[in-house]
Structure 1
């Protein structure tokens, strides 16, 4: 280092303190980067790499970005997961002895963004601290620095912690430096987050405002780690941090990341985009604050019925009050992001335009408050009280800040006339001086006769009189002093002009300096209102989400769900909300779903593309929408409150983790089976298809039996293993339903209806034909299918060890020693099913039309005619030949 110049030595000394960050080193109007930082930044930012003499034997690599446009370059690096240390001059160069003193004034990281394109309006930017403890628990604290939100929880296992990390999508994770390398690698790869280190975890009294109510030492130390990191990187007071919200994951419906992905709650599976997700459908919010809160609610549906009903009451009131809802939406459209504006004010980087936006937002609050307060709902009155208009702050901003100030706070024209007497005096001197300049120009033109004479100004020479060369002979001698020669003109000054120039420039300079001082003082006064502004922001966000629910529910004909304490799930005319929006209400086919204590499991069969997965998803989405406090896509709906939702739908592998599609399927199934309770909802789609037929069927049946006998959760299980439909006779709480399809002229028609009973065919070849596979291939498949169907008796004998046989009281003991699929067969299966259907009809007092449809509803007109003919036959009165002929006729009719 001694061989380098003093400036480069200073750079290296500061860089050593921030080895994992790009050091933006301020030199004049540029931020410069040197050595490896320069090489890497030039590649990442696609800027020119140069070099400079640094006093050593070789020139050192260098690149730089202009100070005024640095924000865009910083955002590019942050978006790629890097950190940027901003190093500024902290003393006046005129007063410096030797190298100007420089210090890092802020470390910008992916989790500490306060502004710029890297912040999405309707998404939080979380920084999280994670602490593993010896007893297997994990402390998790996370904050959004841009809004001041802080949350804190203690988690019982790594699996639970991983689910929570996936839910919050933290951009940066803070851990201790002695953390296991393998664990740190998993954090980076699994959660796509930047990992940073902080070892200090001691509590400071100054943080009692944030978490004085937190008594558990594990949580305090975890939060202290987060706050130490924030203080160390941001190097300023963080007065806008809100009191930490302490929560437990059991307060909300639990959904692991796979379930959220399969249900496409916030993004689609294929394109990873917002469009096509449930969030996309429900988001009719008009403020950034409401958009962020909606996502939070969707990530964490409630399990507290009282809180759910409170939201539903509000939605119902707003849904009925169309004109009031439109007034609210109109007012909310003029409200800016108060939460983030408060953060910028506290942070000290709010400009004058931010304060104008804040004022305009606050001016909308009184009207919002009146509209909400007039709603016929007690909860509306309580919400109206939280809509604080902050009149004193509005008055301050109204009389102080210009309506259209510049972006920069150091260029003047920010403060209104009349706010400060000194500023008014400076402005008067400046304005009068400029008027004098204009008068001077007119007077000199008349005195000299030079019509093109003009008085101009630039920063180098100040004010001057410019005369073009053809008019130089007209310049009066002795009164003009030559200042500058140009190609086509000469510039002059006069003693009078020099005197006035000094007065004008002094007034302008002092005016700008004073305006900045006044603006900073106003911003400091606004800081006092931050707690009130944050309370207001939360109230506006809640109001925005509730009106969004009301708007969607009104537009799409959703109904208010009711909640059952008797484990009844009764949905009449249920729809998949997103599919319905894409297809249109005229195209979408609604379906019913009924489950109770006697019908805990639905075994769903039917062909691909017939709507089995959509049906399963719509049941889950209906439950989730109900528990976030939104109306649901159905004609009527009664639901239990689910503690957890598990979904295993679709095929996906995890090659990076060395897991095949089937392994992923089994892991997700294990997660549901291990964690589900009687109050959970399980959706299993095609479990077991990733292995051989017998393996898959055996696993599927074992899983069904385990859930039925040991867990008792509400379960929708779709399968192509038609042999499993026999389980209806041996599992008392399992019922067969199927997705209807009919075959017409050799073509399959999907009806997208769910009916009672089991499907008879899978129509796989028909689906392949629809997909456009070669006709020769399709014909070959049909031939093979016909050959295999002819050998069905042999296959059935081979499969008898896997599937449960039909309940047959005479044959079962002889075949299985009294066991059917590992359990005693029912003694009166047909009678039990008939009694069950009668009970269902009796229980549906609320929905008399929700009784399960009889099997006949799934038959075509031809099939119904054949059945009717069979019923009318008197076989005992017919000869064998007559019976055979009649059977031939009926078969011919079916064909």
Structure 2
């Protein structure tokens, strides 16, 4: 079953922010947005990336701004008529409101079609709807208005004329009412006839509905590429490489506080990469940024990095957060072990995966926790599953790639240290690590934050000699 954007919004941290910043103007676009599917075909995705680049070139150049504004204004006028088209396909007689909506949709679509043709923009092709318009526009005025016109039926024209004559000559009310009902019967017959005449155009109207949605979403992708400083990813290869990676939502929140997000470089080969670092070292944000980049690429979006090389996967599997479920009686550890078991079972299927595990076994005792980390790393490494495991345990000495977060830079601290400014002095960049030792930063940071000296002294007394 296809994995859709509406699911990713709930499951991928930061995807809601991306979607909230995805400008969509039309009714068809809004309907289609949540149904966008995660893609797995390189050719298909590269074609979409090419369309984004052409859209940027056409509508986001200095000369294209006016055309973009005109196109956006026209898209705002396009209603979602999917329900009416479905009923029309089934042969149900449409009322005046629905016939008006279909006519208005067709006219707006043709205006957009003419604009795209004038610009030689071929990323999205709208079909010719003149046949459908002719059915609903017997006067040929091409205005978004609908009425059961006299031009539809000579009988209707004559009946209405007779009714007008009877009303002006003060004919008795009973006769006038009978004539009015006669007109209504003819109008109903006209609606049935219009429904039959429109049915051959249902497919082409449906094609236009889909094309309008594609155009709207494409225009939004191009806007985001500019506004969020996104980059076209190169697909394929054996290494997931993200240079200058950032998390758009976290970056925006930091910018609100006049702080800058530190972009990081990461390269993930096949097999496991263990990332060690103290608490507050940004390991969770790193995993979320990788997860978001992979999903954005496979949903046909540019990604939040300065350079990106992304192998496609069938699925992104994660174990992040608490996962505790009181309704099921699951502790944090129990929920985590069920997620890890699901990852291990999926790794047996032989399909390409990206696995992201945050602070594995952090809720159990250090001895068993370290053993669990080593066991999971060993198993996934043996299956060459591209995996990132973050941990604050030292001594994870299983053969695999090891990175560490550079972490807290005490020598850079100026003035008082507090929660509001501590991130200024943390270096979130990654470096190769052959020892797998976690930096001992907790007590120095606590001291700089002004924690009671007596408490700190008691804590230091319990450090093992190897930890000092």
TM-score range, shorter chain: 0.7 to 0.9
**Which of residues 258, 262, 267 is equivalent to 1:590?**
262
How many residue pairs match? The answer is 445
Shift of 1:638: 2.0
Cα displacement string for residues 680-738 of structure 1 (whole angstroms, at most 9, x for unaligned residues): 22211111122223222221232223223x132332222232x14x63xx624222234
**Which of residues 326, 338, 342 is equivalent to 2:81?**
338
2:28 and 2:78 in contact (8 A); partners too: no
Report the counterpart of residue 227 of structure 2 in structure 1: 555
2:274 and 2:391 in contact (8 A); partners too: no
The range that moved more, 650-659 or 313-322, is: 650-659
2:317 and 2:354 in contact (8 A); partners too: yes
Partners of 1:434 and 1:765 in 2: CA distance? 95
1:317 and 1:375 in contact (8 A); partners too: no
Report the counterpart of residue 280 of structure 1 in structure 2: 20
State the SS of the aligned residue for 1:362. helix
Match runs of 1:135-284 below 5 Å:
261-264=10-13, 276-281=16-21, 283-284=22-23
1:602 and 1:737 in contact (8 A); partners too: no
**Which of residues 35, 42, 51 is equivalent to 1:296?**
35
Match runs of 1:84-99 below 5 Å:
none
Cα displacement string for residues 788-816 of structure 1 (whole angstroms, at most 9, x for unaligned residues): 4334336879xxxxxxxxxxxxxxxxxxx
Partners of 1:657 and 1:583 in 2: CA distance? 37
State the SS of the aligned residue for 2:423. strand
Partners of 1:346 and 1:736 in 2: CA distance? 60
Whether 1:539 aligns to 2:211 is yes
Partners of 1:592 and 1:762 in 2: CA distance? 21
Whether 1:522 aligns to 2:265 is no
1:607 and 1:741 in contact (8 A); partners too: no
Whether 1:362 aligns to 2:34 is no
Partners of 2:68 and 2:438 in 1: CA distance? 47
User: Is the alpha carbon distance of 1:336 and 1:783 closer, same or farther for their aligned partners in structure 2, counting shifts above 3 Å?
Assistant: same
Cα displacement string for residues 58-83 of structure 1 (whole angstroms, at most 9, x for unaligned residues): xxxxxxxxxxxxxxxxxxxxxxxxxx
Partners of 2:95 and 2:408 in 1: CA distance? 63
Partners of 2:339 and 2:443 in 1: CA distance? 26
Task: Say which structure, 1 or 2, has more relative contact order (CA 8 Å, 6+ apart).
Answer: 2
User: Is the alpha carbon distance of 1:556 and 1:277 closer, same or farther for their aligned partners in structure 2, counting shifts above 3 Å?
Assistant: closer
Partners of 2:439 and 2:351 in 1: CA distance? 31
State the SS of the aligned residue for 1:792. coil
Shift of 1:330: 2.8
Report the counterpart of residue 49 of structure 2 in structure 1: 312
Report the counterpart of residue 336 of structure 2 in structure 1: 665
State the SS of the aligned residue for 1:624. helix
State the SS of the aligned residue for 1:731. coil
**Which of residues 134, 144, 154 is equivalent to 1:395?**
134
Partners of 2:427 and 2:99 in 1: CA distance? 57
User: Is the alpha carbon distance of 1:769 and 1:527 closer, same or farther for their aligned partners in structure 2, counting shifts above 3 Å?
Assistant: farther
Partners of 2:40 and 2:351 in 1: CA distance? 14
Whether 1:711 aligns to 2:383 is yes
Structure number having the greater strand percentage: 1
2:242 and 2:266 in contact (8 A); partners too: yes
User: Is the alpha carbon distance of 1:265 and 1:604 closer, same or farther for their aligned partners in structure 2, counting shifts above 3 Å?
Assistant: same
Whether 1:436 aligns to 2:169 is yes
Whether 1:756 aligns to 2:435 is no
Shift of 1:617: 0.8
1:302 and 1:308 in contact (8 A); partners too: yes
1:263 and 1:647 in contact (8 A); partners too: no
Whether 1:419 aligns to 2:90 is no
Partners of 1:764 and 1:353 in 2: CA distance? 70
User: Is the alpha carbon distance of 1:354 and 1:582 closer, same or farther for their aligned partners in structure 2, counting shifts above 3 Å?
Assistant: farther
Partners of 1:548 and 1:364 in 2: CA distance? 19
Partners of 1:746 and 1:557 in 2: CA distance? 32
Partners of 1:402 and 1:539 in 2: CA distance? 22
2:271 and 2:380 in contact (8 A); partners too: no
User: Is the alpha carbon distance of 1:376 and 1:363 closer, same or farther for their aligned partners in structure 2, counting shifts above 3 Å?
Assistant: closer
Shift of 1:596: 4.7
Partners of 1:533 and 1:598 in 2: CA distance? 47
User: Is the alpha carbon distance of 1:750 and 1:692 closer, same or farther for their aligned partners in structure 2, counting shifts above 3 Å?
Assistant: same
State the SS of the aligned residue for 1:285. coil
**Which of residues 492, 499, 503 is equivalent to 2:175?**
503
User: Is the alpha carbon distance of 1:754 and 1:168 closer, same or farther for their aligned partners in structure 2, counting shifts above 3 Å?
Assistant: closer
State the SS of the aligned residue for 1:662. helix
Partners of 2:268 and 2:362 in 1: CA distance? 29
User: Is the alpha carbon distance of 1:350 and 1:581 closer, same or farther for their aligned partners in structure 2, counting shifts above 3 Å?
Assistant: farther
Partners of 2:369 and 2:214 in 1: CA distance? 47
Partners of 1:359 and 1:375 in 2: CA distance? 25
Partners of 2:46 and 2:219 in 1: CA distance? 15
Unaligned runs of 5+ in 1: 1-152, 154-163, 170-256, 267-275, 406-413, 438-498, 798-895
Shift of 1:336: 1.6
Report the counterpart of residue 481 of structure 1 in structure 2: none
Partners of 1:372 and 1:403 in 2: CA distance? 20
**Which of residues 308, 311, 314 is equivalent to 1:643?**
314
Partners of 2:429 and 2:334 in 1: CA distance? 32
Report the counterpart of residue 736 of structure 1 in structure 2: 404
Partners of 1:504 and 1:678 in 2: CA distance? 75
Whether 1:689 aligns to 2:362 is yes
Shift of 1:311: 0.2
Partners of 1:747 and 1:395 in 2: CA distance? 70
Shift of 1:320: 1.7
**Which of residues 599, 604, 607 is equivalent to 2:279?**
607
Partners of 1:733 and 1:598 in 2: CA distance? 10
Structure number having the greater helix percentage: 2
Shift of 1:679: 3.8
Shift of 1:520: 2.2
Cα displacement string for residues 40-70 of structure 1 (whole angstroms, at most 9, x for unaligned residues): xxxxxxxxxxxxxxxxxxxxxxxxxxxxxxx
User: Is the alpha carbon distance of 1:736 and 1:263 closer, same or farther for their aligned partners in structure 2, counting shifts above 3 Å?
Assistant: same
Partners of 1:767 and 1:621 in 2: CA distance? 32
Normalised by the length of structure 1, the TM-score is 0.45
State the SS of the aligned residue for 2:289. helix
1:359 and 1:397 in contact (8 A); partners too: yes
Shift of 1:316: 0.6
Report the counterpart of residue 126 of structure 1 in structure 2: none
1:570 and 1:595 in contact (8 A); partners too: yes
User: Is the alpha carbon distance of 1:279 and 1:794 closer, same or farther for their aligned partners in structure 2, counting shifts above 3 Å?
Assistant: same
